[in-house]
Amino acid sequence: MTIPAASPPPEGAEHQLFDRPSLSERVWLLRALRGETIGGVLLLIAALIAIAWANSPWGDAYTALTEVTVGPAALGLDLSLATWAADALLAVFFFVAGLELKHEFTHGTLSRPAQAAVPVAAALGGMVVPAILFTVIVATGDPSGLSGWAIPMATDIAFALAVLAVVGRGLPIALRAFLLTLAVVDDLGAITIIAIFYPKGFSLAYLLLAIALLAAYWLLQRRRVRSPWIYVPLAIVVWWAVFMSGVHATVAGVALALLTRAHADPGEAESPADRLQRMLLPLSAGVCVPLFAFFAAGVDLRATGLIEPLTSPVAIGVLAGLIIGKPIGVVVTAWLVARFTRASLNPDIGWRDVSAVGLLAGIGFTVALLITELAFTSSPGQLDAAKVAVFTASVVSALIASVVLLSRNRHYRRVALVEEADVDGDGIPDVYQRPAPGDADPGPARTD
DSSP for 328-389, please give it. Answer: HHHHHHHHHHHHHTTPEEPTT--HHHHHHHHHHTT---HHHHHHHHHHTTT-HHHHHHHHHH
Residue 269's contacts (CB-CB under 8 Å, 6 or more residues apart) are none
Strands 79-80 and 2-3: unpaired
* pLDDT value, residue 6: 38
Q: Return the CATH fold of 15-198+248-434.
A: Na+/H+ antiporter like fold (1.20.1530)
* pLDDT tens string 238-291: 999 999 999 999 999 999 999 999 999 988 889 999 999 999 999 999 999 999
Query: How many angstroms from the chain centroid is the CA of residue 200?
Result: 24
* pLDDT tens string 403-448: 998 888 888 888 777 777 777 777 788 777 765 544 444 444 433 4
Q: Which pTM was predicted?
A: 0.86
Tell me how far CA of residue 193 lies from CA of 173, 174, 251, in angstroms.
30, 28, 10
Q: What is the mean pLDDT of the chain?
A: 86
Q: From CA 184, how far away is CA 169, in angstroms rounded?
A: 21
3-class DSSP state for residue 433? coil
* pLDDT value, residue 154: 85
The residue-averaged pLDDT of 327-342 equals: 89
* pLDDT tens string 133-183: 999 999 999 999 999 999 999 888 888 888 888 787 778 888 888 888 888
3-class DSSP state for residue 105? helix
Domains of the chain, by residue range, sit at 15-198+248-434
* pLDDT value, residue 434: 66
* pLDDT value, residue 435: 58
The proportion of the chain whose per-residue pLDDT surpasses 90, expressed as a percent, equals 54
* pLDDT tens string 36-59: 888 888 999 999 999 999 999 999
* pLDDT tens string 180-230: 888 888 888 989 999 989 888 889 999 999 999 999 999 999 999 989 999
Of residues 364 and 241, which shows the higher confidence score? 241
Of residues 18 and 362, which shows the higher confidence score? 362
Are the CB atoms for 81 and 71 separated by under 8 Å? Answer: no
Listed ranges 207-216, 330-339, 377-386, 434-443; the one with the highest mean pLDDT:
207-216
Residue 111's contacts (CB-CB under 8 Å, 6 or more residues apart) are 104, 105
- The answer on pLDDT for 116 being more than 90 is no
Q: Other CB atoms closer than 10 Å to residue 416's CB: what's the count?
A: 16
Tell me how far CA of residue 182 lies from CA of 115, 117, 157, 188, 328, in angstroms.
13, 11, 9, 10, 14
DSSP 8-state class, residue 286: I
* pLDDT value, residue 445: 42
* pLDDT value, residue 176: 85
* pLDDT value, residue 15: 60
The residue-averaged pLDDT of 94-106 equals: 91
3-class DSSP state for residue 251? helix
